[in-house]
Structure 1
């Protein structure tokens, strides 16, 4: 497939204001049909989505809709759907972009927002830091002045709570402040037209919205699964010229570029019957730059997530292939969770891969998340210094690409023997995890890495430009390299690769590598390489 050259879209990189996007003629994925459906369905809503997924843009679009800015919706679905275009007083509270590491930091932010509303309405602050009373006075004053029900939009409501995750005492204090702020929303329900709150995580309703028991959670609602992000259908029907440009720049076919974008940025599902959703931040950056980089992870991985993984000693291996889960296992309130799975899911590191009518399958959504998250885990399982880890990976994969297996295995032996020994790192599972991370982090440097074959499950498979290497590790002190090689043969791990071809059309060389683990030295012991 080839797309005729035409002007490429001007993507709104870093722009979250709907008016700016429309007035500057930047590209906007039309979600206004879903927004229309939302605002007509009910009055109180909560939606959670991962960071950089368009939540702020959604809130901004709602703001301009309720302000009656019909001019901004020309050419969009909303233009024909809405016939009244009534103007409402809109109060948007945004907690995005701030750092809430003290009570004072939250109080200053709330005070600034309330003061701006009070100045706009010409009323005085008579309640000081009593946020509920103060916000209630603002909403009542707006209603009295306009005889029109106000609209309340809250962006990133949970930012103060996430910032204080590692300080439970501070988090409780900030939670109480936020509870005060939201308290009038139930009492003033009779005069409010619409209330919409969004954030990354799901804190229990009792902890922060104690009185707001009429809040409708649409996070996992099929009808609104695509309200944030960009669906695969939208990508393939609306971004063909940009995909072709990416393909041309990287020496790929159009179909190859589609597959690469899907593998790198697609894979999110937010409900039982959700369409495929791309990470919008990564996708538009990729198409704008013409690169397949890890954009989402360049903005930072929350340290709390990798620390939780270590604290609960969670094995990341199942995340790669997917694991079965009930709804309560991942769609649970953050502060009551007994493991990091709910936060990993709500933050976008895990997503729904399948629902069979009874159980969900949860796993990494795509390659960008897989590699970024596993790389972030590496310092907690191996070397504290990221540079040391990266240098090892470069040396190890360079040896593999050159077919120098003995050099590659020596690099692993030296690397693992240098991992600091302590009580947390003395069990067999720890070293299994290190080996898992090493081979999964090979992917950017080789053709591919994988574990599963039709005939069984090898410990690791690495495919380079001209060879395929199947590894079997034996951590049992009584096992030998010959035991490992025999398992490769008995299970037929090499069979799926017997017809794998190099670029020149010749068959790729096949190798099986049996490896033992020296428990006393806590590193690779012996290995044996046999060409298949």
Structure 2
């Protein structure tokens, strides 16, 4: 058996990865192209997508550490390996909850540079003046142009999204830091800034009039993340190990990795890109679980969805959007779409003519994690109570105990605290969708649509397809009649189990009592 690679789990430092023999997906040809094309760049990508690793790769390249790049694409491209003074600022990892936190961080970082270049701080909290002096001193003392690398520039702004007053203060502080860069343009070799979100150039980077935004440029689509080609050409032994551990064929493991972690497209002609954090963890552990989503619940995003009353089901099916709808400044957005897209919870599923696109969930990991994070809002805030219901409901469905499953749902819905403001028909429609998405690890489809529409909830297990129709203050007969008249069963009439046999089709008509806010009667027809 081939020796398995040592993956750099949680490690985002190029130097450590190369010195300690960790596996590195070679992006240095793109690094060379970038550093020899323009001088001032901005790149937006979701969290844990390799932005910090890219920044540290640029840092070591500009520090002239040729030995770290042996065997990589750039070794044949670069001839000079010149050393430059590098100013590396990272706002990742610090929680900016007040102005003082920002001031402490900036004093510490600029203080380090001032000590290196023997400068006494005479400008206090005037970050622009201090940074300007540093850049001039570095240029004069070394005779070479300084390089500026800023990772997660927007962390202070995202941390304060629910406090507009503090966000405005920190926005001004960040802008002060970058203000001298326009006048320094003549002596700067390279400037590279990364972030998750896209705050308007006017509010942050108004002085950087030559800023090259490469977020949606095809040439740089794969600069972060792992492409399908990189995965299947370079990680075959690890895929085989995952397949063996999970009793899968190699082909089944490839399909499972694709379904779980693939699906990102950052530009119009982007290759398929896998979430690198989840993919490397899955191959390292030989497990197919939700790694990326488990590292941070999108509280800001769920708050936005509640505020704008958006339907997560549309993210599943995909919805049309213009470029202006999602590639727009965060602070001017009138809905959550830009932040959802920039944060990696939505991606480009298809590029259409002109500037029209279809956006949707990139993969199962994001879909399931997102739905689970929304459930406390639509059901009960007690996560353990939601999870207990989902386990009991899914077990009952898998064991074909349909009466028990419906009794579990009735009890669960009855226990949800009443909120007249939000518990309307759309609220319950979304709740049923979330339950269907989360109720069982065997679920294959919940979004199939017939020519005439779709049922309220479809759950497909290994042996059976259950089609539910809920009638608000109606009868079970009306619900069953709608399943028949609309042809909701038609998409599943040729569905096979793993042995090639037809799956059992079961339709369930349910009356929903709006006054009691739970299930009334139901009827099951096989």
Specify if TM > 0.5.
yes
Deviations 1:388-410 (A, max 9, x none): 11001011111101111111111
Which of 516, 519, 526 in structure 1 is aligned with 2:521?
Answer: 526
Which of 464, 468, 488 in structure 1 is aligned with 2:465?
Answer: 468
Which of 154, 161, 166 in structure 1 is aligned with 2:150?
Answer: 154
Q: TM-score, normalised by structure 2?
A: 0.98
Partners of 1:505 and 1:277 in 2: how far apart? 32
Q: CA deviation at 1:387?
A: 0.5
Which of 372, 375, 380 in structure 1 is aligned with 2:372?
Answer: 375
Which of 331, 336, 361 in structure 1 is aligned with 2:332?
Answer: 336
Who is 1:71 aligned against? 67
User: Which runs of structure 2 are paired with 1:243-262 in the superposition (5 Å)?
Assistant: 243-262=239-258
State the SS of the aligned residue for 1:345.
helix
Deviations 1:298-318 (A, max 9, x none): 111131111111111111110
Deviations 1:216-251 (A, max 9, x none): 111011110000000011111111110000000000
State the SS of the aligned residue for 1:268.
coil
Q: CA deviation at 1:488?
A: 1.9
State the SS of the aligned residue for 1:450.
coil
Structure 1: gaps spanning 5 or more residues: none
State the SS of the aligned residue for 2:447.
strand
- Give yes or no for the alignment of 1:42 onto 2:38: yes
Who is 2:135 aligned against? 139
Q: TM-score, normalised by structure 1?
A: 0.97
State the SS of the aligned residue for 2:349.
strand
Who is 2:477 aligned against? 482
Aligned pair count? 524
Who is 2:428 aligned against? 431
Partners of 1:442 and 1:328 in 2: how far apart? 36
Q: CA deviation at 1:504?
A: 4.4
Which of 18, 26, 30 in structure 2 is aligned with 1:30?
Answer: 26
User: Which runs of structure 2 are paired with 1:50-69 in the superposition (5 Å)?
Assistant: 50-69=46-65
> Is the 8 Å Cα contact of residues 450 and 486 (structure 2) preserved in structure 1?
no
Which of 494, 500, 510 in structure 2 is aligned with 1:499?
Answer: 494
> Is the 8 Å Cα contact of residues 448 and 491 (structure 2) preserved in structure 1?
no
- Give yes or no for the alignment of 1:325 onto 2:321: yes
State the SS of the aligned residue for 2:525.
strand
Partners of 2:149 and 2:381 in 1: how far apart? 42
Deviations 1:358-417 (A, max 9, x none): 310000000000000110011111101111110010111111011111111111111112
User: Which runs of structure 2 are paired with 1:4-19 in the superposition (5 Å)?
Assistant: 5-19=1-15
Who is 1:85 aligned against? 81
Partners of 1:391 and 1:355 in 2: how far apart? 40
Which of 216, 223, 248 in structure 1 is aligned with 2:219?
Answer: 223
State the SS of the aligned residue for 1:41.
coil
Deviations 1:418-476 (A, max 9, x none): 211123323211111111111111242x242322145442222211122111112222x
State the SS of the aligned residue for 1:424.
coil
- Give yes or no for the alignment of 1:411 onto 2:411: no
Who is 1:287 aligned against? 283
Who is 2:509 aligned against? 514
Q: CA deviation at 1:323?
A: 0.3
Q: CA deviation at 1:517?
A: 1.4
Q: CA deviation at 1:486?
A: 1.9
> Is the 8 Å Cα contact of residues 479 and 509 (structure 2) preserved in structure 1?
yes
State the SS of the aligned residue for 2:373.
helix
- Give yes or no for the alignment of 1:196 onto 2:192: yes
- Give yes or no for the alignment of 1:273 onto 2:285: no
Partners of 2:500 and 2:482 in 1: how far apart? 30
Partners of 2:238 and 2:516 in 1: how far apart? 53
> Is the 8 Å Cα contact of residues 443 and 449 (structure 1) preserved in structure 2?
no
Q: CA RMSD in A?
A: 1.2
> Is the 8 Å Cα contact of residues 495 and 502 (structure 2) preserved in structure 1?
yes
Q: CA deviation at 1:335?
A: 1.0
Partners of 1:268 and 1:525 in 2: how far apart? 42
| Greater alpha carbon shift after TM alignment, 41-50 vs 458-467 | 458-467
